[in-house]
Structure 1
């Protein structure tokens, strides 16, 4: 009798079971190096104290510039990093976004910020104060390197202009990729790192 009842019980459980959640694709900015590449790039960065931020102004980095077809850089990242994306008139973007910083999924674009992995203020104090406006514009709208990513808005706001020595993604599982992206951007743009920043990056790359 027990053998006859077991299949029936299993069938009942399967009928009543909730469907498995469908995973949302994780944002994957381009150009993320391997851990070994990031370690090599980090070793090549100049260690120096940050410059003054007294003369920093976000407007010195013209951002969210036009990318054509009524879309700007923010729109381009939303389309790249989301799933089930639909584009309406005047580049109105709808879809789903998974934030790898905290593991949250959002269905309203207004709940998503586009994070500059290396914040504009940090870049200013690490060498960008010497750049031309066109160079700062290219940095602030870089779609070719892992500098821009769609994330939960309040998590991005909590990060603000902090470096990895003062702020890390809430999910430790993302430390590795975050450090690799940070190092790649600083390497591409020949920006300096502080000793505390480098120590934090070494620790985070150690989780890879």
Structure 2
């Protein structure tokens, strides 16, 4: 199949997956406007006000936590998995093959403020990783173990919870919360914390004292910061 036809087919597969996602789940929260997106993004509640509504508790034990508590890897929407749907959302000039895989693109990385030329391959794919903004083990210890497996799987594949980011930054974050890890890119910290708050509110999770204090310190620098709200698309 000629290259141009393969690229068009790949783009159509992604578009089909997005349409299926909208029909299955309805409008979902989305990335800040600074990240390339195919959706219309508006602002929602102020992050500070939403943070004040979150319960404050200590961390539950990590007992029984495994990645499979949040589903068996990435969910499929049509023939496209969420990793590639998020790559397509967050990368500019994304090229998609006829297997619904993003093969290349440019990431304006929100965590480091650097620009990454992404190329799919054995030694390069991990240069860009998909981060769970609220680390799954953190979610497990702040209320997710009380959710059903279906709800946890939805959390792990929710576009609100997912960002394409620099691989090394994602590894450095590990399972840290706002009290132990924040993006090196200070310009993104307000949006990052607001997104964590939105995820915790949506899935009825709580914050620890230290986590809330760290979030408050960040939001003191941007009291008008709002949480992202999507009005269409993935």
TM normalised by structure 1 equals: 0.81
Per the alignment, residue 67 of structure 1 pairs with 77
Per the alignment, residue 44 of structure 1 pairs with 53
- Pair 199,116 (structure 1): closer, same or farther in 2 beyond 3 Å: same
Which structure 2 residue ranges, 5 or more long, are not aligned?
1-32, 223-234
Q: Distance in 2 between the 1:28 and 1:115 partners?
A: 17
Q: Distance in 2 between the 1:32 and 1:127 partners?
A: 28
- Pair 179,51 (structure 1): closer, same or farther in 2 beyond 3 Å: same
By how many angstroms is 1:173 displaced? 1.4
Per the alignment, residue 54 of structure 1 pairs with 63
Per the alignment, residue 127 of structure 1 pairs with 143
TM-superposition CA deviations, 1:98-121 (whole Å, max 9, x none): 111101222225110111100110
By how many angstroms is 1:28 displaced? 6.1
- 1:107 and 2:95 aligned: no
- 1:95 and 2:111 aligned: no
Which structure 1 residue ranges, 5 or more long, are not aligned?
1-24
- Pair 37,26 (structure 1): closer, same or farther in 2 beyond 3 Å: closer
Give secondary structure in 2 for the equivalent of 1:90. Answer: coil
Per the alignment, residue 215 of structure 2 pairs with 201
Once structures 1 and 2 are overlaid, which stretch shifts more, 132-141 or 108-117? 108-117
How well do the aligned residues superpose, as a CA RMSD in angstroms?
1.8
Per the alignment, residue 182 of structure 1 pairs with 196
By how many angstroms is 1:27 displaced? 2.4
**Kept after mapping to 2: 8 A contact 1:33/1:181:** no
- Pair 178,33 (structure 1): closer, same or farther in 2 beyond 3 Å: farther
Bigger relative contact order, structure 1 or 2 (CA pairs below 8 A, ≥6 apart):
2
By how many angstroms is 1:92 displaced? 2.2
Aligned pairs (5 A) from 1:4-43: 26-27=34-35, 33=43, 37-43=46-52
Give the count of matched residue pairs.
180
Aligned pairs (5 A) from 1:128-143: 128-143=144-159
Q: Which has the larger radius of gyration?
A: 1
